Structure 1
Amino acid sequence: MKRRSMISGILCFILFVISCGQVYAEPVQSGDKFTYEAPLTSSNVSLSGVTAARTLYVQLEDYWDVNTLTLNLDYQATQLSRREVSSVTLKMNGTAFYSFRPVVDEQKRQTISVAVPKNLLVSGSNSLSIEGYIVTHLPDQICVPVEKRDNWLELYKSSYVTVNYSKKDIGESIRDFNQRFIGLDSLEQGLSALSVPKDSDPAELEAAIYALSGFAKGNRSENNSIPMLPWGDSTLTERETVVVVSLYKDLPDQWKQALGQVSLADKALIRVVKSGGQTALIVTSEDPALLKKAGRLIGNQTLIDQLDGAEKWLDADTRVETPKISVSRNVTLTETGDKLNGMMHQEKSYFVSLPANRFIAESSKISLDFRYSDNLDFDRSLVTVLINDTPIGSKKLTKEAANQDQLTLTIPKNLEVSGNFSVTVAFDLELISAGCIELQDQMPWAFITKDSMLQLNTKDRTDLLFNNYPNPFLRDASFNKIAVLLPEQLDSYGYQTIGNLFHLLGKYAEANTGEVSFYTDGKLPGESELQQHNLISIGSYKDNAWLQKNNSKLFFQYGSNGEGIQSNEKMSIEENYGKRIGTLQLMESPYAKGYAWLAVTGASSKYSYLASGLLATDSAKWKVYGDGVVTDVDGNTKAFRFKKQAEPKDQGLVAQITERGDVMGFIVAAGLTFLLVVVSLVLMIRKHRKRAGGES
């Protein structure tokens, strides 16, 4: 009996251990639960006034099966707030789901966690509206207080959203792979990477960065980039999804076997395959030109979103180019019109895309067409237009124009707006005797019609400064004749440096038609060819012979032994510290005026990679300005300006006229009219001469 009891006890213990192992095993199946956290806003959000509202956005991936979504709000309300009547209401996609009274405790910020009903969520972008009603003074309990400066609520940038979800099984189509590859959680957790052969052919690198630019455009994260890794990198096998770009002869056997028998002499292939627990998108061909074309196809995200199959074959006749980008155009602010409800301050913002190398030129105008309710206090009501939160003009509202009003404003040239920007239309809808009325959601109102337009004229930025980056490496939203000068041998840091630089450039490159060429030290083209290119050099003094020849032209130069960077007129650099820093230097090309040279360099490839990280994402780029930047492993970054600031030149009259389409149209019309008058006069004179001759 004792033996049986002992055996039974041992069996129970074994079963217990097994069951424990099952309970605490790491989740690996597609149905397992995951958690994703993301900030709600990159800066503090201020709600000022008795009634105010702001809209934030929450992104949910298509392949997420969301279980719960929780808002974690850090806020502080004015210390004068009357809590018994003040409130904050939250709306998701236009539907209210939670209201609370803000807590006031001296200078302490407050935290509240709110679960959002699942039925209000949609895949993609979700709008979260935060509407505040902050009351500080109640002279009469039945009256609404007038708006004051002490009515405020601050939502801090530490607020975040928590999403608990499970992943749907990854589909077999190229579109499904694309969504998973650039998913917010995939990039946050380092599950995606683009891979190339260890000793890549220039055509393979070119195809890879065209593909990378497409994925970068689809990347909605401002903090995470997609790494480019060579085969053999130790972290590559840990990636859940990988993009493999290679000539067929260089493909590893693993991926050749996954493809099976294929004929690629005059074709390129893009195919989703699975091998060894990884899902891969293979981009390959035996023809270098077709491999580049396949890379450009991925650079066209509109086409990628249309590929429902697991593979795409390309040949010489396949069209992959994006449409031509218009840089001076009329932009419609709203397709159907937008209504704003409620008294006091109400606003609507519009996002306008613009190539990063272009800035708003003179004569750009905004024409606002709108109407509003006629029960306003017209002595105090007005509309204001703002560009990137900077007001450019206002107009007083009137009862006579309530049913159809217009406002035309010229955008000031001193705003110096470049790249994407926002247009905000803000109404101050004041009511007569607003102190003692009952608030109603639908009263008063304003409506912005679909006839509201932005007449956008743009110019290139020409100053070689990181303030204007990525100019001049992009022109009209496309790669602008870039030549990348590489060391003879690239290690993993070198490939990641290339990936960093072209991730941000690719994010800004809306078109896939630009030109990028890669050259190594031993295969540099002639000087005459490099004269027609903007240059990017990667590597140190010792591993990049071209950089060594042009060391004297650097702002931060290497010493005679090439082991480290020396002091200059802007910065004192200790000898050993000069061996542990990376630099970014933006200069004029040594071959031709009007072209740029970006040197990404450090004493070793590790420090070149460190410097390139400053130009990999939008969140890092803000540290970079001037034309010379130094960074170290401790996160210290210093930016300097070496080139002298050029005196502003007045634009010639002819150039100003040619920039303005409306003026050119008027001149052409006036010229034709003048010509018609001259011809008419000549004909009349001839007619009268003939008549006079006949009479005589």
Structure 2
Amino acid sequence: MKRLSITIILLSSLLVILIQPAAAVNYGGVPQTDGRTESRTLETNFLDYSMKGLFSTTEQTFWIAKDWDVETVLLHLEYRATQLADTQLSSLTVAINGTYFYSLRPTDNSGNRHGIDIYVPLESLQQGYNIIKIDGYMRTQEAQPCVDDVSEANWLDIYKESTIAVRFDKNTFITNIESFYNRFFEVDALKYGESAFVLSDADNPAELNAALLGISGISNQTIYPDGYFPILKLSDPAGNQLENRIVIARYDQLPDNYRDQADQNGLNDEDALLVLINEGSGTNTLMITAKNDIALINAGRMLGNSTLMNQLQSTVKLIGKIEDVKTEVYTAETYINFTGAKGTDYNGPFHQVKEFAINYPLNRSLTNASEFYLSYRYSENLDFDRSLMTVYINDIPVGSRKLSQHKAGGDEATIPIPTDIDIGGAFTVKVAFDLEIKDLWCSLRQGDMPWAYLTPGTMLKINSVASQDLIFENYPSPFVTDYSYNALSLVVPNQIDGETAKLLAKMFRVMGRYTKGNTGDLAVFYPGELNEAVLSTNIIAVGTEDSNSFIRSNNDKLYFRLTEEGTSFLSNEKLVIDPTYGKTLGSVQLLGSLYNKPGRASLMVVAPNQTGLAAIGNNLGELKNLGKLSGDAVLADANGNVLSYRFKAPQNPTIAVVEQIAVSQDAQIFLVVSIMVLILLAVGLIMVVRKNGLELKKGGWRK
């Protein structure tokens, strides 16, 4: 009995070792300390996907941060197979970063969902993006050779409830500004709400200005689309519970302990100071302070320069008042290489697809002469009567080209892009190869036999024009144009309450994702500080009629106006509003310049109370909800209902003929040839007239 017990214990221990990795994997080379965070799990969900055909493939990426010590990665797969699946021949094979590690038979072909848990080998993981690839081979029962590969009965559905769960821990404290900076906006920090900006209680516009520049500059570096960075005050107890804090405050508004830190680290009257402070209880604080507003705002802008921030390997940094901390200026690209420096491989038969995400300014639309240029190679043993390459933008087919045997070693294609395709903001490009082989099932050729390769020379040429229409379909244009803030002035209440601060934090988190780097002009003002220069900019005003006098003075220019008391919205020609319901609404309205300044716009974020501000903030402040906004005036209530209206007449993008010609190479050639033909005709006519001694007299041409 004792020997049996020992055997059971040994077998159980061996099984645990085989299933559960024995130790965590450290990815950033960060030395482990005694102070560790509690282990937590970050899940990435699949999208619903239907794998069709005899051979099919789907992929899902997930993220590993460089300071995570990964304990396990668990793939949970929820799938349903065709009822006709041959469970003795069909299979699913799973790979991590190109390395296959698990295969299974879809044993359940009853038509019901089936789930399975699979541990991913840690040795195949890498810092950054990792790719789970699932290859399906779905053979149906009693399939006929050479017929089954085109049957519609070959399918397997993978559900969005499938997940990749990464369990990890990390050091509690960090030792330099660079490490803090990257941890502040890491995936887990955003998902679990661990990071925030903390300002003084003084309602200083320079502090808010610096914080919003910081939020914007950091947001355009994040890979996690959800979450935001709250703006809190030093007196707010919630700020003390956070793991990562950026405290931005003028020196004279600092608490004594922070002021002592500033003095000890050499703060002077001109510079700004960054100091990393480990405060105990797992809290890391980056204090940013200065004795003047210009230096403080410049330090906030520096947070958007990732190259510079990643050079800070110490805990202290002094920044000059006018030190150049700006990044390069980004513009709308004409040529975009999307396949990467190493190109992109396609392996296996039948329909193979690769998807590429491309960011582009939201305010731009396609014009003439936009096109794909594709350079590629492929197998020579294909069925060239059926094999082809197809390109898509946002799942819309753009064009196809047949593959040919004599070009297999080096083929190319130029495919024009129709101008009616929407490329504003982020869009996707798909390049698909249908790699068909004659009698594949009959000859049992499988695996990587047919292949294709997109070379790094493959690129997208985009000619575009800025849209002039002031509608939410183009938001955040014109306040963000070509990746930068466009002469933007933010008018805020003299005293910013918690709901307004939350709205601003969420709103600029979203706007920041449409920027690159930290260039552009953003300035924060109180209503009483506006001058002629400010009135000539693009203006965003936030608040209630009671809290923001700028909104009160421009109430008569709104599409949806507030009552005289400012307690509810009034009805208009578009909508009859019940006075009680009007008290629960928030509104965002996109107007032209309130001061008739050409090319400028105003965004009025208005509500009768805090409830309305929260309602509209949930839409302006969440990337996934921006699609609900359309037209130029939007109302939202606390129940999530959104009402969109259009008051201004549509304004189609107008492009001068000269501009059209400038962007179209074909048009330029046509124009030059046409002019030359006209000149030759004119010269020929003159020569004929002179040769025949003709003169134009009364009654016609005469000799």
User: So what's the TM-score if we normalise by structure 1?
Assistant: 0.87
Q: Take 1:568 and 1:83, find their aligned partners in 2: how far apart are those partners?
A: 65
Does 1:494 find its partner at 2:500? yes
Structure 2 equivalent of residue 403 of structure 1? 409
Does 1:81 find its partner at 2:89? no
Gap runs ≥5 in structure 1: 1-27, 676-696
Q: Take 2:109 and 2:342, find their aligned partners in 1: how far apart are those partners?
A: 44
Shift of the 211–32 alpha-carbon distance from structure 1 to 2, 3 Å rule, reads: closer
1:600-615 paired onto structure 2 within 5 Å: 600-615=605-620
Shift of the 548–453 alpha-carbon distance from structure 1 to 2, 3 Å rule, reads: same
Shift of the 202–649 alpha-carbon distance from structure 1 to 2, 3 Å rule, reads: closer
In the TM superposition, what is the alpha-carbon distance from 1:381 to its structure 2 partner? 0.7
1:379-394 paired onto structure 2 within 5 Å: 379-394=385-400
Contact 1:195 1:243 in 2 (8 A): yes
Structure 1 equivalent of residue 131 of structure 2? 127
1:91-106 paired onto structure 2 within 5 Å: 91-104=95-108, 106=110
In the TM superposition, what is the alpha-carbon distance from 1:661 to its structure 2 partner? 6.3
In the TM superposition, what is the alpha-carbon distance from 1:87 to its structure 2 partner? 1.6
Does 1:50 find its partner at 2:24? no
Does 1:441 find its partner at 2:444? no
In the TM superposition, what is the alpha-carbon distance from 1:103 to its structure 2 partner? 4.8
Shift of the 264–437 alpha-carbon distance from structure 1 to 2, 3 Å rule, reads: farther
In the TM superposition, what is the alpha-carbon distance from 1:316 to its structure 2 partner? 4.4
Does 1:532 find its partner at 2:536? yes
Q: Take 1:569 and 1:437, find their aligned partners in 2: how far apart are those partners?
A: 71
Aligned to 2:150, the other structure's residue is in SS state coil
Structure 2 equivalent of residue 582 of structure 1? 586
Counterpart pick for 2:196 among 172, 193, 196: 193
Q: Take 2:110 and 2:535, find their aligned partners in 1: how far apart are those partners?
A: 64
Q: Take 1:130 and 1:70, find their aligned partners in 2: how far apart are those partners?
A: 15
In the TM superposition, what is the alpha-carbon distance from 1:104 to its structure 2 partner? 4.3
Shift of the 121–157 alpha-carbon distance from structure 1 to 2, 3 Å rule, reads: same
In the TM superposition, what is the alpha-carbon distance from 1:667 to its structure 2 partner? 8.0
In the TM superposition, what is the alpha-carbon distance from 1:561 to its structure 2 partner? 2.1
Aligned to 2:407, the other structure's residue is in SS state coil
Q: Take 1:374 and 1:283, find their aligned partners in 2: how far apart are those partners?
A: 62
User: So what's the TM-score if we normalise by structure 2?
Assistant: 0.86
In the TM superposition, what is the alpha-carbon distance from 1:469 to its structure 2 partner? 1.3
Contact 2:82 2:109 in 1 (8 A): no
Structure 2 equivalent of residue 560 of structure 1? 564
Structure 2 equivalent of residue 16 of structure 1? none
Structure 2 equivalent of residue 183 of structure 1? 186
Aligned to 1:213, the other structure's residue is in SS state helix
Q: What letter is aligned with 1:617?
A: E
Relative to structure 2, which stretch is displaced further, 606-615 or 47-56? 606-615
Structure 2 equivalent of residue 253 of structure 1? 256
Q: Take 1:649 and 1:327, find their aligned partners in 2: how far apart are those partners?
A: 17
Q: Take 1:310 and 1:353, find their aligned partners in 2: how far apart are those partners?
A: 34
Shift of the 573–29 alpha-carbon distance from structure 1 to 2, 3 Å rule, reads: farther
Q: Take 1:279 and 1:645, find their aligned partners in 2: how far apart are those partners?
A: 50
Aligned to 1:176, the other structure's residue is in SS state helix
- The alignment yields a C-alpha RMSD, in angstroms, of 2.6
Shift of the 170–389 alpha-carbon distance from structure 1 to 2, 3 Å rule, reads: farther
1:252-271 paired onto structure 2 within 5 Å: 252-261=255-264, 262-271=266-275
Per-residue CA deviations over 1:553-593 (Å, capped at 9, x if unaligned) read 22222122211123333334322221122222222222124
Contact 2:37 2:172 in 1 (8 A): no
Does 1:358 find its partner at 2:361? no
Structure 2 equivalent of residue 38 of structure 1? 43
Q: What letter is aligned with 1:419?
A: G
Contact 1:264 1:287 in 2 (8 A): no
Shift of the 566–134 alpha-carbon distance from structure 1 to 2, 3 Å rule, reads: farther
Structure 2 equivalent of residue 24 of structure 1? none
Counterpart pick for 2:222 among 209, 219, 222: 219
Q: Take 1:304 and 1:561, find their aligned partners in 2: how far apart are those partners?
A: 48
In the TM superposition, what is the alpha-carbon distance from 1:340 to its structure 2 partner? 1.2
Shift of the 360–54 alpha-carbon distance from structure 1 to 2, 3 Å rule, reads: farther
Q: Take 1:442 and 1:562, find their aligned partners in 2: how far apart are those partners?
A: 68
Q: Take 1:418 and 1:545, find their aligned partners in 2: how far apart are those partners?
A: 35
Aligned to 1:79, the other structure's residue is in SS state coil
Per-residue CA deviations over 1:579-629 (Å, capped at 9, x if unaligned) read 122222222222124322211121113421331231223223233222222
Per-residue CA deviations over 1:46-72 (Å, capped at 9, x if unaligned) read 322221112211112222111111112
Counterpart pick for 1:511 among 509, 514, 517: 517
1:94-173 paired onto structure 2 within 5 Å: 94-104=98-108, 106=110, 108-140=112-144, 145-173=148-176
Contact 1:584 1:611 in 2 (8 A): yes
Per-residue CA deviations over 1:621-679 (Å, capped at 9, x if unaligned) read 23322222222222233333333334x4664321201234686699899999x99xxxx
Q: Take 1:649 and 1:494, find their aligned partners in 2: how far apart are those partners?
A: 35
Q: What letter is aligned with 1:159?
A: S
Does 1:550 find its partner at 2:554? yes
Shift of the 472–650 alpha-carbon distance from structure 1 to 2, 3 Å rule, reads: closer
In the TM superposition, what is the alpha-carbon distance from 1:177 to its structure 2 partner? 0.3
Q: What letter is aligned with 1:325?
A: Y
Per-residue CA deviations over 1:128-161 (Å, capped at 9, x if unaligned) read 1121112225435x77822233322222222222
Q: Take 1:626 and 1:82, find their aligned partners in 2: how far apart are those partners?
A: 53
Does 1:478 find its partner at 2:484? yes
Q: What letter is aligned with 1:352?
A: I
Contact 2:90 2:106 in 1 (8 A): yes
Contact 1:536 1:600 in 2 (8 A): yes
Aligned to 1:515, the other structure's residue is in SS state strand
In the TM superposition, what is the alpha-carbon distance from 1:36 to its structure 2 partner? 2.2
Does 1:373 find its partner at 2:376? no
Shift of the 460–29 alpha-carbon distance from structure 1 to 2, 3 Å rule, reads: farther
Q: Take 1:512 and 1:649, find their aligned partners in 2: how far apart are those partners?
A: 28
Structure 1 equivalent of residue 690 of structure 2? none
Shift of the 464–103 alpha-carbon distance from structure 1 to 2, 3 Å rule, reads: farther
Gap runs ≥5 in structure 2: 1-32, 680-703
Structure 2 equivalent of residue 322 of structure 1? 327
Shift of the 517–318 alpha-carbon distance from structure 1 to 2, 3 Å rule, reads: closer
Contact 1:175 1:304 in 2 (8 A): yes
Aligned to 2:212, the other structure's residue is in SS state helix
Counterpart pick for 1:206 among 198, 206, 209: 209
Shift of the 606–230 alpha-carbon distance from structure 1 to 2, 3 Å rule, reads: farther
In the TM superposition, what is the alpha-carbon distance from 1:241 to its structure 2 partner? 1.0
In the TM superposition, what is the alpha-carbon distance from 1:501 to its structure 2 partner? 1.4
Counterpart pick for 2:638 among 633, 642, 661: 633
Shift of the 279–350 alpha-carbon distance from structure 1 to 2, 3 Å rule, reads: same
Does 1:598 find its partner at 2:598? no
Contact 1:144 1:434 in 2 (8 A): no
Q: What letter is aligned with 1:336?
A: K
1:674-693 paired onto structure 2 within 5 Å: none
Structure 1 equivalent of residue 316 of structure 2? 311
Relative to structure 2, which stretch is displaced further, 309-318 or 89-98? 309-318
Does 1:230 find its partner at 2:230? no
Q: Take 1:306 and 1:54, find their aligned partners in 2: how far apart are those partners?
A: 38
Shift of the 630–270 alpha-carbon distance from structure 1 to 2, 3 Å rule, reads: same
Identity in percent: 33
Does 1:70 find its partner at 2:74? yes
Counterpart pick for 1:332 among 337, 346, 370: 337
Q: Take 1:235 and 1:517, find their aligned partners in 2: how far apart are those partners?
A: 27
In the TM superposition, what is the alpha-carbon distance from 1:317 to its structure 2 partner? 5.9
Aligned to 2:207, the other structure's residue is in SS state helix
Shift of the 667–308 alpha-carbon distance from structure 1 to 2, 3 Å rule, reads: farther
Q: Take 2:653 and 2:469, find their aligned partners in 1: how far apart are those partners?
A: 13
Q: Take 2:465 and 2:214, find their aligned partners in 1: how far apart are those partners?
A: 28
Contact 2:349 2:449 in 1 (8 A): yes
Structure 2 equivalent of residue 174 of structure 1? 177
